[in-house]
Structure 1
Amino acid sequence: MNQPENTKRLEAIKEVLLLMGSGNFTHRIPRSDHNDNIEDIISSINMLSDDLSHAYNPFIFGTRSEIKRCIVQYIFLLNTQYQLITTSFPIPHTIIPGKSSIFDLIHQDDLEVLRKEFKSFPNSKRQSCPFRMSFTTNKGLSQELFCTLFHIQYPKLKDHYLIMGSQIIESNPLMISKEQRKVLQNKKAKETPLKILKTKEDIETIQKLKFYIDRHLQKKLPTIEELASAMFMNQDKLKKGFKELYNDTIYRYHRKERLHHARMILSSTDENIDTIATLFGFPHTSTFSALFKKTYGISPSELRKLDDKS
């Protein structure tokens, strides 16, 4: 028996069990060609973790109030040769930024899919595409993410690539330290209770309104009367509830998001300003430019000139 290797495999089992206990079902233990009891245990744990990750969805079943939910983001920045420039998280010491390819980090099963996506980008007008990816963490575990691949057109990073993956983690308070628990309890004690939105249904209604706004940035919003009717909530409660939950008015939030997305397209594409203004629901470029300058202190054309010089 290879004692050091078995110790490493047992450490991986312990690590994944702790992650599962804290509500994280996205890690798997790499399989080996050993035919022993440890490998049987690894196989069982991987299957259990897989079943739990598919069976439990916090957005469907909800979360108990004492469970803390957070979203962990994984970011990979690649150069034109698909080499890793940097990541937002620790990676195995064998992966060297600037020298190692993204293909050295992800699993064999996902290589062909990702290669096809890279090849399709130069001949495609798409700015991004979703895909699934598994990679090896610095602890030797297999981490599966649902990612989005972006083809960057910003002058300083032209033809570079950005991969962003997100993972929802449920934090079990039984798995955190006393010090961490005190911090969370103090934070909870300082939270101001909502005064306008008193029920779960009220909060969900306002969240649906925000979701609608985020999906219709290119259009003029309906009147407050029409929005209230569509959301089955009276006008006053709708306005005050949105301000209470998001610290902004409905129409100001809509305008800020339109300008924010317009700014991203200005910086990352060569699309002309008139088209961008129209795309985000501004019928007159002059109005768009005035609002843009008032918000960011620089006009769209001035921003474009700065980007061209970069």
Structure 2
Amino acid sequence: MTAGPGSPRGTQGGSQRASYLLVFAMLLMISVPAGLALHTVRIAPQIPASVTDNSPYGYTISLLLFVVPIVTILWWLIPSEHLKISKSSVVRTIALLFPIGAGLDFFFAHRFLTFPNPRATLRILAPALGGGVPIEEYLFYFTGFLAVLLLYIWLDEYWLAEYSIPVASGERTNFKRLLQFHPPSLIAGIALIAGAIVFRRVFVAEAGFPGYFIFLVVAALGPSALFLPSALPVINWRALSLTLFFILLMSLLWEATLGLPYGWWGFRHTQMLGIYITAWSELPIEEVLVWITVTYATVIVYELVRRWKSSGRPARHAFLGIAPAADSETALQR
């Protein structure tokens, strides 16, 4: 009897690829009708300027949307079930991902973003090119990545553990090298970037360049192009899909009902693709994609780091397939 995509601890090979595609099918199943319904709205809701300025420390306090899940998972859900997670894998994953978010703020915030309501923050500026950004921006990326990662880990290790690949299994430890090129991801990335540039020039009257969209494509499909073949066999796709929908729902409610309408942050239209959700105060489509990007990249990086740590190999050996000198000499003697 062959294990199918719904079989616990049996989704290997082709069925893992089917689960990978199923996640995107589920996303389309929800996003297509939602997008068509939202497209019927022609006028964005208007909030008076006096109300916009009347949300003191709103951005700061709203970060609890990430902090509370982090605290709950770390100090209640994981200890209560006596789950053992690889702390080094968590730390290394955040150490790799946080600089991407921080880099977006440091290098591009002055090009992509605006912060019209300083009263919604602590009014502490953190360093960034072209002028400082609210310190909440860096806290947001740190807590956001950590919340996504911990939610996936808890789902993978407990709630959907039947579909998890055990840490000591051969699927995790047996590999030649983790760095494996994935041409479809590269082709998709190039096609998306080229399509975005053409769309912006042909269909958007205002001059500009889709810089934010291109950054998101590179951030999402960069890890995918380099590591997806190695991550594909060990990702718990059910845990990833539930993480994605939880984060997407929470973040869109946050942005559409609070962040953008009340001026906690805004976007420079000259750097956007040019597709806006009118019903959500002209929210750029990039802000929907960013949460898909964050979840997808976080899980790929985490599972690669976890696979490396499970193998017990040095990083050079695990990622590049280059064995340590002592092992090479032993192999030659044999």
| Pairwise TM-score range, normalised by the shorter structure | under 0.3
What's the TM-score once normalised by structure 2's chain length?
Answer: 0.21
Structure with the greater alpha carbon radius of gyration: 1
Instruction: Identify the structure with the greater helix proportion.
Output: 2
Question: Which structure's relative contact order is higher, taking Cα pairs within 8 Å and 6+ residues apart?
Answer: 2
More strand as a share of residues: 1
